Structure formats: structure tokens, C-alpha cells
Amino acid sequence: MSVLFHVKGAKSSERTRAHPQFSPAGKRSPFFFSSSCTPISQRGCKVPRRFRLLLNLTAYLTFLAAYLALDQPGLARQVVLVAGGRSDYVIVRNGQAPTPEQFAAQELQKYIRLISGVELRIVERPGGPKVIWVGQAAGSAEQLKDRGEDSYLIRVAGGNVYLTGATPRSTLYSVYHFLEKYLGCGWIVPGDEYIPRSVEIGLPDRVE
């Protein structure tokens, strides 16, 4: 199972920036409740104290249940690409890969380094079980047969990452989309990019 995309007539993926955070002045209490009516302070109406306490208690219990659920084994599993200033992963590409696939591997290496400070090696053969496969090295993708030349595939399974396309050019598309969707990078125009900074890079343990 995998994530499959088909891009018509595009030479690059859509570029987006991370959403700005709320300013401290705009933050509200986690127990703030709004409605369609004018704020109480402006209308002079009163909400029974018991009702307000019940709403706050309900919100607290809902938050607590969600927090405890995230702590259950198996519900928040991740594939950790980088942690603690190191990585066990390598980027594997075919030794005779076309130029666009070679560039795709280099771009992936570059942006992971800019995000985390850790540079993954680009190799032709994996030396261990943790691999990011790029292009032809990822093997033939049945899902891409009979699809457009700009179709590409992103897959995470078994602790490995697969980035490939119907053509060498679309393999580059898959790398850029992976960087945007899962690593948080963004581009508006050439030379204007957003690169998050993080000492850890994690992915869902399965992308289908």
C-alpha cells in the first residue's frame, strides 16, 4: 500500500509555508468556550456557575482521555530517521541512475541535513536494514503502470522509505512532495524556501 500522486503539467510540486503560530496575545485558555452570542462581559448576562464548572470538567476529561490514548503502545509509532544528532539510515540510488534521480537523492540528503544537521550517506547498496530507496533502486512500482509520466509514489513500510516515479523526473517530484508533506519544508518561488529545524525527524510507521 502506498501514497500515489498524479501531477498534470506541473514541473514542480505546489509550494507551501508552515502556518504561523498564534501570538502569545492571541492565545486562549484550553477551557475557553465560545458561542454565537456576544461575550458575557459585554452583555451583562450570567451563566450559572454550576453550568460553567460542568463545561470545564467535560473539556478537561476529554483532553485527559485524548492524552492517555496517545500514550498507549502502538498508537503513536514512528519511523525515526534522525535522533540525537545521528541516523542509521542511508539513501540508496542506482549506480547508473539518470541525472534527475541522482539530483533527487542529493536534494533529499541536502534538506535532511539542513533540517537536522545530520547528513545521510548516498550509496548504491545498503549496508544495513534502514534505507531510503530513491528511483530505480526502489524497484518497479506496479501502481505506476499505465499512469501518466508525472505520476509518483511515496511509501513507508517495514521501517523503510520508498520514493519513486514513473519517470526519473517524477522521482524528483516524489522527493519534493515527501520533503513538503512529511518533513515540513516549503517553497514559494525559487530561492525563497522555508526549512524547519529539528534534532529529530520522525515519520508515520506506515504510509499507504
pLDDT per position as a tens digit, 154-172 = 999 999 999 999 999 999 9
Evaluate whether residue 22 is within a structural domain: no
Does residue 143 or residue 208 have the better pLDDT?
143
149/16 Cα distance (integer angstroms):
24
- 124 and 64 part of one domain: no
- 13 and 64 part of one domain: no
Does residue 113 or residue 63 have the better pLDDT?
113
202/182 Cα distance (integer angstroms):
8
* 10 CB-contact burial (10 Å; exposed 0-12 / middle 13-18 / buried 19+): exposed
CATH at residue 192: 3.30.379.10
**pLDDT confidence of residue 14:** 42
Name the pLDDT band for 207 (thresholds 50, 70, 90). Answer: confident
- 42 and 140 part of one domain: no
pTM as predicted: 0.63
Does residue 97 or residue 54 have the better pLDDT?
97
**pLDDT confidence of residue 20:** 39
Evaluate whether residue 84 is within a structural domain: yes
